[in-house]
Amino acid sequence: MNLEQFSGVNAGYVLELYEKYRQNPEAVDPATREAFASWTPAEIPARADAAPSGPSAAIHVIVGAANLAESIRRYGHLAARIDPLGSTPPGDPSLSPRAHGITDHDLRALPASLVGGPVAESAANAFEAIEKLRRVYCSTTGFDYAHVFVPEERQWLRDAAESGRFLPPMDGKSAHALVDRITQVEVFERFLHRTFPGKTRFSVEGVDMLVPILDEIICGAADRGVRQSIIGMAHRGRLNVLAHVLQKPYSQILAEFKDPVGASTRLNLGWMGDVKYHAGARTAKPRGQMHVEMPPNPSHLEAVNPVVVGMARAAGTIAEEPGAPRFDGARTLPVLIHGDAAFPGQGIVAETLNLSRLRGYDTDGTIHIIANNQVGFTATPAESYSTSYASGLARGFKIPIVHVNADDPVACIEAARLAWEYRSRFRRDVLIDLIGYRRHGHNEGDEPGFTQPLMYKKVAAHPTVRQLFGAALVKQETIAQDELDAIEKKHWAVLEKAFESLKPEEDFVAPVAEPVPAGIAGQTPTGVPFDRLVTINTALQADPKDFTFAKKLERGRERRKAALASIDERTIDWAMAEELALATILADGTPVRLTGEDVERGTFSHRHAVYHDASTGREFVPLQEFPQSRAPFEIYNSPLSENGAIGFEFGYNIQAPGRLVIWEAQYGDFINGAQVMLDQFVTSSRAKWGLQPSLVFLLPHGYEGQGPEHSSARPERILQAAANINLRLVNCTTAAQYFHLLRRQAALLRRDPLPLFVMSPKSLLRHPLVASTPRELQEGRFQSVIDDLDMQARAKNVKRLILCSGKVYVDLITGERRAAADEVAICRVEQLYPFPNVALGEVLGGYPSLRDVVWLQEEPENMGAWEFLRPLLEELVAGRCPVRYIGRPRSASPSEGSAAWHQLNQKTLVDRAFNLRNENEAENTPRALPKEERSLTGSKR
Ligand SMILES: Cc1ncc(C[n+]2csc(CCOP(=O)(O)OP(=O)(O)O)c2C)c(N)n1
């Protein structure tokens, strides 16, 4: 036997203890002293990695005992009985003394202090201490925290588990309260089951302890002064949590089950709403001083995770003072409830966990609970994840995990208390893996026996947690059987009464968004007096003390300093317009948050909102420093995520509707990685849930020869989702337009909030034709349509009106044939949605001799705005002349891959635009699907 076999922490621990003993025998407890007294100096290696070849039996026994203890702490959860359906835990060989070359007899001869920790204090010897350790680690709770790398946290978790200090006392009063709550949870489901047979409710049964766990966490947090808890969860158990944790009235839930067709709210065809198990809620009365809130969520599992975390971040962000805002996580507690198949399967979970420790995203810890019913629809764990547990992903993020058997209420409450205390103390995420089963099929009309016959035989014979816990309490004589029966009757009676007195038409509360006040957007004044712009700009461009700018950036700063020397010079480029817009918004008192991939510098190295001292790296953020500011400015480079990052900003935005929240894509294309967030939250949440988001998206867009992946922000997708005035989509062409657009969005945050999508420029960021004069910032306002200024004097002669949007306008006006094309006018549609019907109508009215109206775009015919606009334009033109299309032909890919082809195609577009002779040619008219595409859907195939 060689000590090297026991190298590592345990050997080290024993040797450390021995060293302590050698220096001062009194420093160790008497039993350890006695054990060490039998060692001879020659047998003791100086260090674990310098072990001699033949240490005595005493050393091997002592090291074996220490290793056994460590193995139980590390791997004990593998032998824990955490499955209520009784499957055999996998176990681990290292949990037996034999694996360490020792016997129970050996352990009895050793002091308990070798095992260490609280269990040793009341144990007579190492054997007893090990047995106690097994009861902690291998019972109905699996403490899984060895992957936590911070020693202080690991020590705390070890002590928390082994001391049992979070175990709730089960005296008569607390046992009564707990069994009452469990009964309420169960009776609610059984009542719905009986009253609405077969109706989908995604019952909590099998993981009923979810509700008491939430109670415990929320009460713990409320006692510690947390003001708001935000719970994110999917379908499973949602109705139960809404009823019992968020106090949503039974009458309202029952009315939703009745689904009153013909109720007044349904008579309006614009009503959309959502199914009942997606609805959100907020407690009407606080629990203590805490409100509990649950945002609505879509079916897309786990998609609500970053939204909740973003909400918590916004709620904890103190945005009253200018400068950088402060975050105080002690105000808010986010709780996320996951499914056991969804947690490992949905990438958004990893994206959200990755936000948890980032500067701009940290919430001081989220409590995660996996409502683990050991099945996902019909899929088994073996089909759902490659990790050992459903919670495996959390390990990589060093999140402590407590696996707990959902049939042991006391263990569940202990897990909840430990989780809250850990979160509160270390301000980090923690996870409870609540392992139960699913009493019914995936939904209540589903037959689980088709796919899980054995499991469901067990489930059918398995008593509920209420029955098990009740029986145990009766057996212990903590509570009498008739008391249990009375509790059950009481809860039935409450539900029956609510049902009998139900008036579905009145009790049904439909979500309705505030109607949009007509025309406010167009009337919003956004100009800023020149003097004020000069004062603010001077402050922004002032050099901070002892700060060395990078040489190349100094030139840019000089340009910005000089830009307001004259009111009529075209000196304001895109980045400067943005900086002045944000500064004036802050000076008006509206907080701003700007995030996205590399936003601090800007993807195109144009923004420089954060400077880094060239010699020290120190940061300087002018928008946080200028004295005119009355509100905080936060700016963070986001992690490399779109779905998680947008979900987070959406949550932040709906929680703090008075702040201007902007997310910028690296290139507009990449927003398609967040299609779930766009479809499920940003564009539809108003119609489904009555939310009023106002998030701003800056999406670099434009055909510049970079290929299919850096050209299009896919405006067609945004337009497809545009209806009922649910968003604004803008593709504007001047720095001043952008300035007014941002200021308008800030001004409308309270009065007319809508998400804003901006197709933002790339090469045009610095283009002289896009630059504006200070006067345009002072006097103008955002224009949804800009008519052709050059043509107005000759409007009578104009035969073709070209309508276009964004960068292609610059290609047109810089085209060789522009100067000579007297009969062609070019009008910019700066706002694509809401469609500027009136403004465009006025433009058309100004050209009496039109022979055609052309929509010209860079995107292929099946992309861009054309298919959305065509019926609108045809209606507007009303048969006066044909409406034609000029653009790339239909294509499966957004653009050509070669820069040379791009140039050729772009030139062809421009040439066609000015070629009036081809007005009857087929390629200029709207075309039906090409033949070969149609044949694929034809009857012969
Ligand atoms: C993104 C997404 N994919 C698929 C589904 C369809 N679906 C709904 S529930 C479910 C099973 C979820 O299993 P689990 O996460 O274990 O939760 P449980 O229903 O068992 O509570 C599936 C596949 C969905 N809602 N969302």
For residue 561, give both structure tokens: 């300093």
Q: How would residue 656 be classed by pLDDT, with cut points 50, 70 and 90?
A: very high
- Of 820, 786, 794, the closest CA to residue 911 belongs to 820
Q: Kind of pairing, strands 756-760 and 696-700?
A: parallel
For residue 112, give both structure tokens: 């308990």
**CA of 342, closest atom in ligand 1:** 15
Phi, psi for 30 (deg, rounded to 5): -55, -40
Pick 279 or 596 by higher pLDDT: 596
How confident is the model over 543-580, as pLDDT tens digits?
A: 999 999 999 999 999 999 999 999 999 999 999 999 99
Q: What is the dihedral of CA 595, 601, 602, 607, to 10 degrees?
A: 100
How confident is the model over 155-178, as pLDDT tens digits?
A: 999 999 999 999 999 898 999 999
**CA of 390, closest atom in ligand 1:** 16
For residue 146, give both structure tokens: 């060895």
- Counting Cβ atoms within 10 Å, is residue 433 exposed (0-12), middle (13-18) or buried (19+)? buried
Residue 6: predicted pLDDT: 39
The contacts of residue 37 (CB under 8 Å, 6+ apart) are: none
**CA of 302, closest atom in ligand 1:** 1
Q: Poorest-confidence range of 351-365, 505-519, 625-639, 886-900?
A: 505-519
Pick 304 or 31 by higher pLDDT: 304
Phi, psi for 379 (deg, rounded to 5): -85, 140
Q: Is the pLDDT of residue 1 over 90?
A: no
| Å from CA of 405 to ligand 1 middle | 22
Q: Is the pLDDT of residue 471 over 80?
A: yes
Q: Is the pLDDT of residue 463 over 80?
A: yes
Residue 40: predicted pLDDT: 56
For residue 494, give both structure tokens: 């409450």
- Based on DSSP, count helices (H) and strands (E) in the chain, helices before strands: 37, 24
**CA of 339, closest atom in ligand 1:** 15
- Of 664, 583, 571, 680, the closest CA to residue 622 belongs to 583
Q: Which three-class secondary structure state does DSSP give residue 49?
A: helix
Element (H, E) at 293: strand 291-294
| Å from CA of 349 to ligand 1 middle | 14
**C-alpha atoms less than 13 angstroms from C-alpha of 741 in its C-beta half-sphere:** 30
Give dist(CA 20, CA 120) in Å, integer: 18
Question: Side chain identity at 662, as an amino acid letter?
Answer: I
Nearest CA to ligand 1 atom 1: 300
Q: Which of 338, 374, 442 has most ligand 1 atoms within 8 Å of its beta carbon, as the pocket-test mutant?
A: 442
Give dist(CA 54, CA 386) in Å, integer: 43
Q: Which residues line ligand 1 (CB under 6 A)?
A: 236, 299-301, 339-342, 371, 373, 375-377, 438, 442
Q: How would residue 931 be classed by pLDDT, with cut points 50, 70 and 90?
A: low
For residue 264, give both structure tokens: 């007044």
Q: Which three-class secondary structure state does DSSP give residue 279?
A: coil
Do 131 and 58 form a contact (C-beta atoms < 8 A)? no
For residue 28, give both structure tokens: 């160790």
Residue 54: predicted pLDDT: 41
**In the chain, what percentage of residues exceed pLDDT 90?**
78
Question: Side chain identity at 86, as an amino acid letter?
Answer: G
Do 712 and 859 form a contact (C-beta atoms < 8 A)? yes
Give dist(CA 298, CA 308) in Å, integer: 13
Q: How would residue 517 be classed by pLDDT, with cut points 50, 70 and 90?
A: low
| Å from CA of 473 to ligand 1 middle | 36
Q: How far apart are the first and last CA of the chain?
A: 76
Do 356 and 306 form a contact (C-beta atoms < 8 A)? no
Handedness of CA 469, 475, 480, 485 (dihedral sign): positive
Residue 58: predicted pLDDT: 75
Q: How would residue 143 be classed by pLDDT, with cut points 50, 70 and 90?
A: very high
Element (H, E) at 156: helix 151-163
- Of 370, 472, 365, 349, the closest CA to residue 415 belongs to 370
| Å from CA of 194 to ligand 1 middle | 25
Q: Which of 208, 377, 451 has most ligand 1 atoms within 8 Å of its beta carbon, as the pocket-test mutant?
A: 377
- Of 875, 905, 870, 906, the closest CA to residue 885 belongs to 870
Residues 507-534: what's their mean pLDDT?
Answer: 76
Sequence length of the chain is 941
Cα 523–Cα 527–Cα 531 angle in degrees, nearest 5:
160
How confident is the model over 382-429, as pLDDT tens digits?
A: 999 999 999 999 999 999 999 999 999 999 999 999 999 999 999 999
**In the chain, what percentage of residues exceed pLDDT 70?**
91
Nearest CA to ligand 1 atom 10: 377
Residues 342-367: what's their mean pLDDT?
Answer: 98
Question: Full-prediction pTM beyond 0.85?
Answer: yes
